[in-house]
Structure 1
Amino acid sequence: MRVDAQASRAVVEADLWQQSDMLSMYNVMEVPGLPNGQASLVEGLRAADAKGATLALKDRGAGDFGIAGGQRIRLSYTVRLEHDKYPWPAGMEEVSYRTDEGMMATGAALFFADGDAPVQAPIEVDFDLPRGWQARTPWTSAGDGDRFRVDSRRELISNALFLGTAHAETFDAGGVELTLVLGERYRRSLPLFVDLLSTQLASYAELFGGPPLSRRYLIIINEHASGDGGAFASSFSQFVQGDADERNRVIWGYVMAHELLHFWNGLSIVPADHREEWFKEGVTDYLTIVTLARNGWLDENLLFKRLENVPRRYLIARYAQNLQMSVRDAGKDKQPNRQLVYGGGSLAALALDVALRERSGDRVGLPEFMRALHAEFGKPGKTYALADLERIAKALTGSDFSGFFAGTVGSESYFDIRPSYAALGLRMDSFAEEMFINREPDASPAQRARFKAVFGSPAVR
């Protein structure tokens, strides 16, 4: 892949074995002005066989092209690097954008792959970049220059890359190699990032009973008003609004901790389909709150604010957005239904943690549940479904959880979280979108002990 000096175009030349009759650009999202999403920014796509004869390509839309498979092919095409001009549903941090120091892009915005068959290893990517630029990837270096070895199609397509001059730092955290690529504004915040990432990584390894599938990760941080982020197979891309300091760590630190946890829940433990998107996002959100509190990044005041946001998001989805589908069904169209997927999923995660503890006499909670799930499903190519969640919960407690999941995420009716908060010795008062959580003075010793077992003793670091 060759990037021109203005970083306006990338020319890709590919040599691959095409097994099936479908050539595809993955994760294509239609947006106004781009009827075929990222594929609409591809120009001059040409395919030839091993002898150089042109092969016919039939545009099937959405980044798919029919082609005669079962042979070695050579592709050439140009990608217009103007993705940041368009309103992507998940944000440009999950597609591609440019800065004064280079460009971030996902593999899915740059590369085609066999649409119906796994790419056969070995995979190598060689970058030809403007003077002074370097390629920062989560892949393995394959010698001098910007050449890399890639382990699978998933690692090729589902990863964020940064090509440019931005500062990078690599460090080891519990056997996991992290490379941070920092936009210029955030270089002085490096110690804050490293401290939080190291602490959270250690907590997650303990929580899940081991490391994530990958041992090498790339994290790209730049400035943008959205303050959002996106996680990929072994990388994540994050925006920070303004400076990154201790005062606004409650925002950027939360996003960073959430995306980091996805390396386990979502990328090592993978749902079978969109119906468990609530578990991928909601459980990650809830466990982010729990671990930040236990590690001292949230004091009790900030913890309660976070816990107030959980039912508020769910209420906004149900009554302001009037989303009437179940939390499970909301995952089919995650971005428009984001408040229901995240808010409803977080409520279900908190309620599950409480239910596991109540039904087991406080022997087990969500950490033990996640450890069991990771032990069984934290393997390449293995996915879980709702029936697996029900089975694991029953194995841990001896109790049938099918009714619990039907009520929390399978129903279209409003789910009341107040009994779950009460079981933690907390009281929630609310009016319309206003939520206030405080400790219940009359909480029993068991309820107070359960709160401490979940959140530790939150204090300012």
Structure 2
Amino acid sequence: MSSLFLFPLVLSSISLRANELDIKQNQITYLITVTENEPSIAQVTMKFTPQDSILYMDGSARAFDNSWGHFLHDIRAYDSQKNKIAIEQLEGPKWKIDADQTSPITVAYNVHLTHTDHKWSGGIDGVAYPTDYGVFYTGRTLFMVNGTQREDISVGFDLPKNWKATTPWESSVKDSSMLEVDGFNDLLQSVMFLGTHKEINIKREGLELIFALGTKETIEQEEEYRELANGVLNYYVNLIGGNPNPPILKKTLRSVVVVNTSDATDGEALGNHISVLVQKDGDDFSKLISRFIFAHEFFHLWNGKSFSPNSDNLEWFKEGVTNYYTVKALYHIGVLDDDSYLNVLSEFFYQRYADDKGVGTLAMSDGEAKHDHWGLVYGGGMFVGMAQDIMIRNATNNTKNLDMLMRTLYQEYGGSEEQYDLDEICMRLSHLNGVDQSSFFDSYIHGPSKFPIETYLQLAGLDASIENGKLLIKKRNSVNTLEKHIFYGFLGK
């Protein structure tokens, strides 16, 4: 045969092999094995064709030189012929593998669940821990990765009899025993509970909430958590005008909520998921805070995920306004009444705000301060959102309100990667008020002035004053119709 005819065949063969390699390098599978005899060890086996020579983990466990790699043991690697591959530990949570980048390899390691032996600045709720009913992990504590991007990621589980895995992922179309993962971020920002726990599923069109209750106390409160989730979800959907709509949502949004008991109440959001710890044998206030944490983090699926700011200078809006709608949601579903609503504002939120050393010295728009100045950013931002809502209702005879801003942001930015900025928030609030809010922003957002929430609460038919550093609030006996309507709107009725 003429070489003229052979040449296209050679090119076609090369192209086919290159395409097959691309497909292989896009795939990675993980098998998580937990045995009944050693439930505190997760055996992880990953199979993939290397994109490069580096294995790495998330670096957020900064207390350890090796980050989450600190908890990995017996790391080993093999080629397709089961020959051992050399692995070299690098600085940080990185390892170098001496492997052919055109053939599949296997990497295996054990994760020891000793995370509770250490103190965590953000709490154990966002890490990993055992309970009497199973084990809790976040994806970042479990998974090594290789390469920069892989679209074909799957995870499987080999668990003791009667155990189940509660995860954010759905079964693969190609292999029902495996779960499909939507990229590395979806993998590392996941939460999961493996065990004999109780699972609650709440489904709406395009949204699925999956609760994992993994302690005796939380399992006994199953119905209460179901009612809490349904009530808060209904309030938020009616408020915003739709289910969460984060950017590039390809399918149903599955959000895992893990609730367990511990020595102290705490909570954290990871990606689209929520981890809550409720103080065991805690008082009513501790129970309230655990409900607040869930409702707060849940609202971030709208304010923070569906529409998000382009800068940290809007953390006061993302966190503080979320606080405002969280207490309104809890009032709406009956967790709070008139008196407890006002009490939590004064005894908890205002006290945290007033006691924050950043108040009067730092600007609320200093988003970097949010971790060290919860009272300023979360509490102060809440009072700003509350005051703006009251001002808008007062200026428009209760025909407009802050809810309209939230709906507009959802409509404008939901499902988009575009983000709003601080000037836009000021402009939209000015429009709703009918008065330019620039001087308000200069004083309380860009500037360090202490926020006089007591002044604005009086427009809602409340007697409010600051005495000895405390916010005193009580309902006035005589109010006009507008004040009454503003008060109802302020509550979330």
TM-score (norm 1): 0.85
Letter aligned with residue 38 of structure 1: W
1:326-361, CA deviations, whole angstroms, 9 ceiling, x for partnerless residues? 2332x4254433233321221222123234434555
Distance 1:399 1:432 in 2: 33
Q: Which has the larger radius of gyration?
A: 2
In 1, are the aligned partners of 2:228 and 2:333 still within 8 Å (CA)?
Answer: no
Match of 1:313 among 352, 377, 395: 352
- Report the 3-state secondary structure (helix = DSSP H, G, I; strand = E; otherwise coil) of the residue aligned with 2:486: helix
Within-5 A mapping of 1:319-358: 324-329=361-366, 331-332=367-368, 334-358=370-394
Within-5 A mapping of 1:19-34: 24-26=56-58, 28-31=60-63, 34=64
Q: Shift of the alpha carbon at 1:288?
A: 0.8
> What does residue 138 of structure 1 align with?
168
> What does residue 136 of structure 2 align with?
104
Residues 380/14 of structure 1: CA separation in 2 closer, same or farther (3 Å cut): farther
Structure 2's unaligned 5+ residue stretches are 1-31, 246-251
Within-5 A mapping of 1:267-278: 267-278=305-316
Distance 2:65 2:362 in 1: 28
Within-5 A mapping of 1:110-129: 110-113=142-145, 117=148, 119-129=149-159
Q: Shift of the alpha carbon at 1:161?
A: 0.5
- Report the 3-state secondary structure (helix = DSSP H, G, I; strand = E; otherwise coil) of the residue aligned with 2:356: helix
In 1, are the aligned partners of 2:390 and 2:401 still within 8 Å (CA)?
Answer: yes
Distance 1:414 1:20 in 2: 53
Distance 2:46 2:416 in 1: 26
Structure 1's unaligned 5+ residue stretches are none
Q: Shift of the alpha carbon at 1:17?
A: 6.4
Within-5 A mapping of 1:285-304: 285-304=323-342
Tell whether 2:404 aligns with 1:407: no
Q: Which moved more, 1:235-244 or 1:84-93?
A: 235-244
Match of 1:426 among 462, 478, 490: 462
In 2, are the aligned partners of 1:220 and 1:238 still within 8 Å (CA)?
Answer: yes
Distance 1:65 1:351 in 2: 52
In 1, are the aligned partners of 2:391 and 2:433 still within 8 Å (CA)?
Answer: no
> What does residue 120 of structure 2 align with?
88
Within-5 A mapping of 1:356-395: 356-360=392-396, 362-379=398-415, 381-394=417-430
Distance 1:102 1:146 in 2: 21
Residues 386/193 of structure 1: CA separation in 2 closer, same or farther (3 Å cut): same
Residues 20/453 of structure 1: CA separation in 2 closer, same or farther (3 Å cut): farther
How many aligned positions are there? 449
Tell whether 2:270 aligns with 1:232: yes
Letter aligned with residue 128 of structure 2: S
> What does residue 417 of structure 1 align with?
453
Match of 2:319 among 268, 272, 281: 281
Tell whether 2:208 aligns with 1:170: no
- Report the 3-state secondary structure (helix = DSSP H, G, I; strand = E; otherwise coil) of the residue aligned with 1:430: strand
Tell whether 2:78 aligns with 1:39: no
Letter aligned with residue 103 of structure 1: V
In 2, are the aligned partners of 1:94 and 1:230 still within 8 Å (CA)?
Answer: yes
- Report the 3-state secondary structure (helix = DSSP H, G, I; strand = E; otherwise coil) of the residue aligned with 2:365: helix
Residues 53/82 of structure 1: CA separation in 2 closer, same or farther (3 Å cut): closer
Letter aligned with residue 338 of structure 1: W
Distance 1:97 1:411 in 2: 42
> What does residue 212 of structure 2 align with?
181
Distance 1:361 1:27 in 2: 52
Distance 1:422 1:36 in 2: 54
Distance 2:94 2:450 in 1: 40
> What does residue 42 of structure 2 align with?
10
> What does residue 9 of structure 2 align with?
none
> What does residue 212 of structure 1 align with?
244
Q: Shift of the alpha carbon at 1:16?
A: 4.6
Aligned-residue CA RMSD (Å): 3.4
1:252-278, CA deviations, whole angstroms, 9 ceiling, x for partnerless residues? 332322232222222333333433332
Percent of paired sites with the same residue = 29
Tell whether 2:178 aligns with 1:147: yes
Q: Shift of the alpha carbon at 1:395?
A: 5.1
Letter aligned with residue 276 of structure 2: Q
Residues 86/386 of structure 1: CA separation in 2 closer, same or farther (3 Å cut): farther
- Report the 3-state secondary structure (helix = DSSP H, G, I; strand = E; otherwise coil) of the residue aligned with 2:276: strand
In 2, are the aligned partners of 1:175 and 1:215 still within 8 Å (CA)?
Answer: yes
Distance 1:104 1:242 in 2: 17
Residues 442/88 of structure 1: CA separation in 2 closer, same or farther (3 Å cut): same
